[in-house]
A and B are shown apart, each in its own frame.
Chain A
Amino acid sequence: MNQANFAATLLAPNLPCPAGLRAWNGSDPTVRLAVYRNNVVSSLIDAVADTFPVTQELVGEAFFRAMASVFVRQHPPRSRVLAHYGGAFADFVDGFEPARSVPYLADVARLERARVFAYHAADADPLTAERLGVAMSSGEDLDALRWVCHPSTSVVVSRHAIVSLWAAHQVNGDLSAVDPALPESALVVRSGLDVLVLRLAGGAARFVIALQTGAELADASALAADEAADFDLPNVLALLMGHGALISVQFPGSRSQ
């Protein structure tokens, strides 16, 4: 018996009990090994369920746990910090054949994963109107500014109404007023201690993604306007600032404000 064998056995219920194990009363050690097998798989399923509560509600607990049990065996954690676990879950759901009848499920999972990421992300003070004012009146080329998003920020773009679906489950889970086929994109950001989920119009989503990849203001705006002719830059900046999603402005040459 070595730990490689033991570990493999824990994740594969059909493998036989490794040699070298015993019980004081001579009973079959397989039953005792099952305690460890169950601890490992159940605790990991619980961890997945904690991160994806709405995904679970959408398909029901029994279906979800069965799906998660396949996931945890195929994708056991690579980190000893379980807060980081589940990053591969949405892609797994995308390819999970029995879940194909719920086409929005994977994107809702992406939204929920973004929420956990935001919850534990680094702290950073939001950009204040005062600091922004200093930047604006600096005489620098405003088009060349880079706006830095809060470390908790994610954008989840979907062909489905993921924000409405998620929001309905924060109340009573009544989906009768939701048309899942309407595309929605979500901005997920932590403001203070609270993780916010905000609906972004198509252009705005493209804009924030561009900011996150380091685009200058003019380039990010152009990308957003390409996607949505009605892209409204002042409105989007006000939304981002109002929820603490921007933390600084960088001038060319990396001076920060």
Chain B
Amino acid sequence: MSTLRTFLAPRATRAVPAVRRVHTRSGLIARAGVGLKPEHFRDVLETRPDIGFFEVHAENYMVDGGPYHHFLGRIREHYPLSLHGVGLSIGGEDPLDEAHLDRLAALIKRYQPACFSEHLAWSSHGEVFLNDLLPVPYDRATLDRVCEHVDRVQERLQRQMLLENPSTYLEFEASTMDEAAFLTEVIHRTGCGLLLDVNNVHVSCVNHGRDALVFIDNLPLTTVGEIHLAGFATDRDAAGAPLLIDSHGAPVDDVVWGLYAAVLARTGPMPTLLERDNDVPSLAALIAESQRAEDLMPAPAEPKLCSIYGPRS
């Protein structure tokens, strides 16, 4: 582990100009991608759309065999892959589930994804899996625990991971730092990268009365390896204030597109995933929406690979 930490730490802390052309620290190219849905498997293979990458939820492929592996294997032959975990429970009070890490390692070995990402959240407690990304207090004890968990993930998987900023609906009285400071500290201490979910930024900032651009400027943007975009639903809290819900069930909102453009102005072109998990439209419609992300990327479409941050053996 110490070797990995030594390897990663200098890159995570170096100073970088606010606007930069050298991008992807994830190994993905700076293009738009979409989530790979089972209902689109055949369509992808038959139409072979021109798209930067596909992303899958790791847990969906933790099965022994059958169509999921059949199609992912064939699609992987033609496209870069991003592996996105939703079940590791990195923010959990429990120790990491080593059997789950083994399953992730097996998937990474099999499919050689360009990057692996997980969430700043917890989803399991004791034996129970709650199937949601639950919030953590931003205090020292949680920070130490999350850093230990990220260290262990990177050690076991022998690669840098990206940590995603969450959508949250509640805050904790125990928090002693804000979310940007917490994420920055995790990234600096572990050498992980940031998966910047711009929809989550908007959702959380509205839900907690924060300024999204200030939040973004307080993040270590030089460590961003991938961006996520998605749609949200709107509710109200007990005081009638807007409460946005990260639904992944609607097109990307114009406000989020605006924030995305503001992020790109700071980071340069970034691998950008259009997420859609509910009310999934046709493959063509998803790809058309993702094209908008690519159109907003400021640099010409000369994809660059940043090999120093890619998978290491």
Contact = CB atoms under 8 A, between A and B. Distances in A.
A25 B245 contact: no
A44 B131 contact: yes
A80 B238 contact: no
Given A21-B171, A123-B66, A151-B64, A77 B129 contact: yes
Interface string A21-52: 11111111111110110011001100100000
B231 interface: no
A30 B170 CA distance: 9
B65 interface: yes
Contact of B63 (A26, A32, A33, A83): A83
Contacts of B93: 2-4
Interface in A132-189: 151-152
Nearest to A46: B278
B264 interface: no
Contacts of A11: 128, 130
B170 A29 contact: yes
A20 B241 CA distance: 21
A43 B127 CA distance: 18
Interface in B120-178: 122-132, 134-135, 137, 169-174
Given A21-B171, A23-B171, A35-B235, A80 B100 contact: yes
B97 interface: yes
B67 interface: yes
Nearest to A33: B170
Given A39-B132, A43-B131, A81 B62 contact: yes
Interface of A: 1-4, 6-7, 10-11, 20-33, 35-36, 39-40, 43-44, 47, 76-83, 118-124, 151-152, 190, 193
Given A6-B134, A36-B135, A76-B128, 20 more contacts: A10-B132, A11-B130, A21-B172, A21-B173, A22-B170, A23-B171, A32-B169, A39-B132, A40-B130, A79-B129, A80-B62, A80-B124, A82-B59, A82-B131, A83-B60, A83-B62, A118-B66, A120-B63, A123-B65, A123-B70
